[in-house]
Chains A and B, each alone.
Chain A
Amino acid sequence: MLVDIAFVALGVVAVLSGAAVFVVDSMARATYALAVSFVAVGVQVLFLQQSYVGVVVILMMVMEMAVMAVYMVMFMGMNPALMPMSMVHSNRTAVATAVLTFLLLAAGILVVDWPARRGSPPPEVTEALGEALMGPQMLVMAVISPVMVATIVAGVVLAAPRTRYDRFGDDLRQRPPDDPQPGGVGR
């Protein structure tokens, strides 16, 4: 009973703080309202006995919001988000899309014939989750991971305006390199 009340209360917190993202007038408040929403959802996942997933949701989302706040303040519009500003644009389209999506998803919840539970959760859910994710798909994971890393590195290389010739000179012999921001290990 107490657990049910806490679960529902967390859901209310998640929805209200999610809505607050669009109501508040400061980038920092919007970002951290979203963080509160995610943390509430993470705690709800904990209540569903998925402790690893729940804690990781909290961990990743707080970290992501901390970094996002920096980028939001840095890149947002003409004024660098240090002043009060509106958190919405294209208001009517956005509201219509949101309402329609909500109705669609809610209808799905009500219409779908939910299956009855088969079996019971294993004693070590975290281990079972790891087995399910990494066991049969290990080869796929081992192939995808280097491809993803290569994609990230290639993306950064393509996006960076400075090349090694800017750093090391035309004959690549200039040491230390000419960096606008020197690194800590003296490369």
Chain B
Amino acid sequence: MGEPLLTSLPAAAGPAVVTVAPAWAVAVVAVLGALALAAAALDGVLSARSASAGGALGAAGRPLGEASRLLRQRRRTTVQADTLLWRTGGAGLLVAAALMLAVVPLGRWTVADLAVGVVWFNAMDVMVWALVWLVGWGANSAHALVGGYRFLAHGLGYELPLMFALVAPAIAAGSLNVGAVAAAQDGLWFAAWMPVAFLVYLLGVAGFSVWGPFAPALGTDVAGGVRAELSGVDRLVLETGRYALLAAGAAFAVPMFLGGGAGPLLPDWAWTLVKTLAVLALLVWARRRLPALRPDLFMEIGWLVLLPAALVQDLLVAVVTVWRS
């Protein structure tokens, strides 16, 4: 992206977030990769524990073994597949996750200090709608397409509550800039006084990562759904993309709800990472603890329970913000 995207903050916005050189985008991808690997390792350990098989060390390395197995596996081709859209969808998930993470400040440093970082994150998570459906469409396979539709049905249910959950911290901070939202939480984290928005946000992260309760799009009842026809490196890219989205969502929760880099003893970048890993671990752990949400039933839960809850939360936050100013 060019320079015009980076709008400097007004001086009143608190401790300045320093924009680092664009070349540090490589570091963003490296951090994303490390977080995704950590999430996959934790999932491996939890899987082994629930199956009570193998030691923790071997289980943590299982994602790497799975990755090398997939890299050696032959790519499956299907009749009249729309290869362009199919591959775009799979690889796009990783790109969307990296673009999400680009606006998250690591302590004081950020790669892209967008004036509208919160909306940017939202735009990237909407991108996932298109990408997952494209993976389902591209294979020219009925089960994969059913999976794609399941994801879109979930999306219709979780997206609006997620959007309104993101509105709450932005109202309280009076800014759409991620650094300014983090800086507005000195003393009291937003997660503490807007818990509904935080919970809805976490549910939304699981939603756009096709994770846990939102995994029916990949369900075994439809032969793997979206990934029914994916094998080899394509499957690896999709799985990495899901973990990367989960990691990016966890990282974005830190400046939005968990006070950014604020914390005792450790430097602010270390706190950002620690909090990110904690949220990520919670999301990975929750996968086995929550039941799958059927797309048709979740629609009503999203619109009749989550959306009004998020709106009431926004109203409360707006009233408190007006009252305090």
Contacts and interface: CB of A to CB of B under 8 A. Distances in A.
A181 B153 CA distance: 14
**Which interface residue of B10, B127, B149 has the most chain A CB atoms within 10 A?**
B127
Interface string B117-132: 0011011001101100
A185 B126 contact: no
Given A47-B2, A59-B122, A28 B137 contact: yes
A85 B298 CA distance: 34
B4 A32 contact: no
Given A66-B152, A69-B133, A52 B119 contact: yes
Interface in B97-152: 114-116, 119-120, 122-123, 126-127, 129-130, 133-134, 137, 149, 152
B266 interface: no
Contact of B85 (A29, A49, A123): A29
Contacts of B133: 66, 69-70
Given A28-B137, A67-B152, A184-B301, 18 more contacts: A26-B82, A28-B85, A32-B85, A32-B134, A47-B5, A49-B7, A52-B176, A56-B119, A59-B126, A62-B123, A63-B126, A63-B159, A69-B133, A70-B133, A123-B10, A184-B297, A185-B300, A187-B304
B265 interface: no
B23 interface: no
A185 to B, nearest CB: 5
Given A2-B2, A6-B2, A51-B116, A124 B305 contact: no
Nearest to A124: B10
Contacts of B67: none
15 contacts: A29-B84, A47-B5, A48-B4, A51-B115, A51-B116, A59-B123, A62-B123, A66-B130, A66-B133, A67-B152, A70-B133, A124-B10, A181-B296, A184-B294, A185-B300
B119 A59 contact: yes
Tell me the interface secondary structure of chain B in the complex: helix
A126 B116 contact: yes
A70 B149 contact: yes
In which size bucket is the chain B interface?
A: 35 or more
A3 B3 contact: yes
Contact of A51 (B84, B114, B127, B294): B114
B152 A58 contact: no
Given A183-B297, A183-B300, A66 B129 contact: yes
A62 B130 contact: yes
Contacts of A63: 126, 129, 159
Contacts of A21: none
Interface residues of A, number: 34
A15 interface: no
Contacts of A58: 123
Q: Which 9 A-B pairs have the closest CB atoms?
A: A184-B297, A183-B300, A59-B123, A184-B300, A66-B129, A184-B301, A66-B130, A55-B119, A63-B126
Nearest to A2: B2
Contacts, number: 97
A40 interface: no
A32 B123 contact: no
Contacts of B304: 183-185, 187
A65 interface: yes
Interface of A is mostly: helix
Given A29-B85, A55-B116, A126-B115, A35 B130 contact: yes
B291 to A, nearest CB: 12
Interface in B232-280: none
B299 interface: yes
Contacts of B122: 59
Contacts of B156: 67
A3 B176 contact: no
A62 B127 contact: yes
A63 B159 CA distance: 10
Contacts of B296: 181-182, 184
Nearest to A184: B297
Given A183-B297, A184-B299, A32 B305 contact: no
